[in-house]
Chain A
Amino acid sequence: MTTDLTRSTAAALADLLTQGSISAREVAQAHLDRTAEVDAAVHSYLHVDTEGALSTADEVDRRRAAGESLHALAGVPIAVKDVIATRGLPTTCGSRILQGWVPPYDATLVTRLRRAGMPILGKTNMDEFAMGSSTEHSAYGPSRNPWDLDRIPGGSGGGSSSAVASFQAPLAIGTDTGGSIRQPAAVTGTVGTKPTYGGVSRYGLVALASSLDQAGPCTRTVLDAALLHEVIGGHDPMDSTSIDAPVPPLVEAARRADVSGLRVGIVRELTGEGFQAGVQTRFEQAVQHLVDAGAEVVEVSCPSFTYALAAYYLILPSEASSNLAKFDAMRYGLRVAPSGIPDPSAEQVMAATRDAGFGDEVKRRIILGTYALSSGYYDAYYGSAQKVRRLIADDFTRAFEAADVLVSPTAPTTAFRFGDKLDDPMAMYLNDIATIPANLAGIPGISVPSGLADEDGLPAGFQILAPAMRDDRLYAVGAALEARLAAAWGGAMLDRAPALAGSGAAVGPTRTKEA
């Protein structure tokens, strides 16, 4: 058969693998070849594990040949964000302080990927310790947006979003603390889900803000996201905040794609002013598609969202300053001796190491968090932010009485150019304006492509939010929208992305595979 395996969805690859018409090795090799071809330009990966991916693939092929019953996604390869511990594979979090660190254990979600027989292609780039919206804060250089290599792929998970968007992986894992899965998905024309807080184990995630962090799927289709979500989701005794309840039927919801009679709430505070015209237009058209599919639209107001960004940028730095205290140059990671001090103390080594090992944004947030938590300022800053957090959760509770899901554009703009917001931290933070409320309240959210903005021809994202533990609704609405848009466009949006350097044709290389 003539096909390019890297253009396939994970669901299609899973079918071909189950039928035995392709081998897991062929699939892994096709993606490794694609990476060899385009990643010099895109820079999605910090580490590629050719040997490990092929050996897992061979094992899957051997077991399948022996007639063993395998997981539906066995042999479908995946890329993993570098903030997630992978035994035997470097895990740097995009930071110099962890350069070369190889974890002695796997995160629970990685154990689940391995158990499902999913070859891990490599570790993806990110803003240092997931602080940023562009990957410009990675100590190892930024990843690039496959739609325009001069623009950001979103952040912090821009390595995962660009890997999936440039067909280097059918699936990737991201983490979302304030939008780090959804915003990169929006600006690269891909799909990304932040599950309900506690829905996916945090064991083995290097924590940024423990009360906000959540890992989830980065994919090209809604069904693929549901398939991956079911692999990694579910209770884990190793994470005390893990939800001890069954994961709702996500794949079934994605396959049914039924929105008839569903009440879709437009959040007044997350549309209109401050959103790029083309992003807003695509959003309104997407809402109309849902109406055509049988949904009912209501407008809801969440007045406290005005304070969400401010609350978030107090809560996050506070938790981060505490979490990052573990990088002390004693047990793992970088150790730097201060210059000009003979026989320095542990404390002096610690301070010199943290200066050399952390980048500007990490230092800014650690110091901001240290201030917000300090005696005399705690009530005014961290305490007030925690109260605003309650108001935001209450706003969601009220909104979900009037609507089954809430919708908004995922990010206020399409992908911006490198350097545009690097010197203005507040401008960078504003990228998260629509995604942050969900993290503060712990509810699930997904970003699905809504089309290309008229003014710049770049992808825009449509965000769907659901009540806690109703992640299935994200997939029902997302899949319904995706199907209607694909019908309107006559194909997937990513088919319209430009070819990358090294790619032969506009739709990427086609190679012949022996069936």
Chain B
Amino acid sequence: MADLTRTDVAHLAALARIDLSDAELDRMVGELAVILDAVATVQQAPIADVEPMSHPMPIVNVTRPDVVRSSLSPEDALAGAPEAEQQRFSVPRILDED
């Protein structure tokens, strides 16, 4: 089994958009190693010709008639926004400056 390094965990945290502190990173490397050891046992199960199961019940596509119905008002939709402006979500810049 591949060992997770501190660099790996830092990379995963960046992918997951979590700004971990150095102390958190140090602790998490050790904890994840223990958990990964335990969960990797799935690979020892007799699963060679087994069909993966993503969902517990048979899934069918569900459709509904295409009719207009009420939805959230702009006030309701924006009520929980950290910042709103002109009936829109106000967000930090999304592009780099250079």
* Chain A residue contacts of B53, Cβ below 8 A: 386-387, 389-390, 393
Q: Which of A11-53 contact B (CB under 8 A)?
A: none
Q: Does A304 contact B (CB under 8 A)?
A: yes
Q: Does A310 contact B (CB under 8 A)?
A: yes
Contact between A425 and B42, CB atoms less than 8 A apart: no
The CA of A439 and the CA of B47, in the complex, are separated in Å by 20
The proximity string for A residues 114-128 relative to B, scoring 1 for CB distances below 8 Å and 0 otherwise, is 000000000000000
Counted as pairs of residues, one from A and one from B, with CB atoms less than 8 Å apart, the total is: 188
- Among residues of A, the one whose C-beta sits closest to the C-beta of B21 is A355
- Among residues of A, the one whose C-beta sits closest to the C-beta of B20 is A355
Contact between B17 and A354, CB atoms less than 8 A apart: yes
Contact between B9 and A367, CB atoms less than 8 A apart: yes
* Chain A residue contacts of B39, Cβ below 8 A: 310-311, 313-314, 368, 372, 381, 385
The CA of A385 and the CA of B52, in the complex, are separated in Å by 8
Contact between B77 and A345, CB atoms less than 8 A apart: no
Q: Which of B20-62 contact A (CB under 8 A)?
A: 20-21, 24, 28, 31-32, 34-36, 38-47, 50-57, 59, 62
Contact between B17 and A328, CB atoms less than 8 A apart: yes
State the Cβ distance, A345 to closest chain B Cβ, in Å.
6
Contact between A388 and B42, CB atoms less than 8 A apart: yes
Contact between A197 and B56, CB atoms less than 8 A apart: yes
Contact between B83 and A335, CB atoms less than 8 A apart: yes
Q: Does A104 contact B (CB under 8 A)?
A: yes
Interface size on A, residues (CB 8 A): 77
Q: Does B72 contact A (CB under 8 A)?
A: yes
State the Cβ distance, B92 to closest chain A Cβ, in Å.
5
Per DSSP, chain B at the interface is loop
Q: Which of A348-375 contact B (CB under 8 A)?
A: 348-352, 354-355, 358, 360, 363-364, 366-368, 370-372, 374
Contact between B47 and A387, CB atoms less than 8 A apart: yes
State the Cβ distance, B21 to closest chain A Cβ, in Å.
7
User: Of the 9-residue stretches A162-170, A237-245, A254-262, A282-290, which lies at the interface with chain B?
Assistant: A237-245
Contact between B89 and A388, CB atoms less than 8 A apart: no
Contact between A363 and B38, CB atoms less than 8 A apart: no
Q: Does B91 contact A (CB under 8 A)?
A: yes
Known A-B contacts A307-B41, A351-B18; A331 and B12 likewise in contact (beta carbons under 8 Å): no
Contact between B57 and A101, CB atoms less than 8 A apart: no
Q: Does A489 contact B (CB under 8 A)?
A: no
Query: Among the listed B32, B43, B97, which residue makes an inter-chain contact with A367, where contact means beta carbons less than 8 Å apart?
Result: B32
Contact between B81 and A366, CB atoms less than 8 A apart: no
Query: Among the listed A374, A377, A385, A426, which residue makes an inter-chain contact with B42, where contact means beta carbons less than 8 Å apart?
Result: A385
Contact between A346 and B56, CB atoms less than 8 A apart: no
The CA of A479 and the CA of B92, in the complex, are separated in Å by 57
The CA of A314 and the CA of B77, in the complex, are separated in Å by 34
Contact between A425 and B34, CB atoms less than 8 A apart: yes
Q: Does B66 contact A (CB under 8 A)?
A: no
The CA of A333 and the CA of B89, in the complex, are separated in Å by 12
* Chain A residue contacts of B95, Cβ below 8 A: 345
Point out which of B2, B16, B82 has the most chain A C-beta atoms below 10 A from its C-beta: B16
Offer 15 A-B interface pairs, CB within 8 angstroms, sorted by A: A310-B41, A311-B39, A325-B17, A328-B17, A329-B82, A331-B89, A343-B93, A349-B92, A370-B16, A371-B32, A385-B39, A387-B51, A391-B45, A429-B38, A468-B56
Q: Which residues of B pack against A, CB within 8 Å?
A: 2, 4, 8-9, 12-21, 24, 28, 31-32, 34-36, 38-47, 50-57, 59, 62, 64, 72, 76-77, 79-83, 89, 91-97
Q: Which residues of A pack against B, CB within 8 Å?
A: 101-105, 197-198, 211-212, 237, 240-241, 243, 304, 306-307, 309-311, 313-314, 321, 325, 328-335, 338, 343-352, 354-355, 358, 360, 363-364, 366-368, 370-372, 374, 377, 380-381, 383-391, 393, 425-426, 429, 439-443, 468
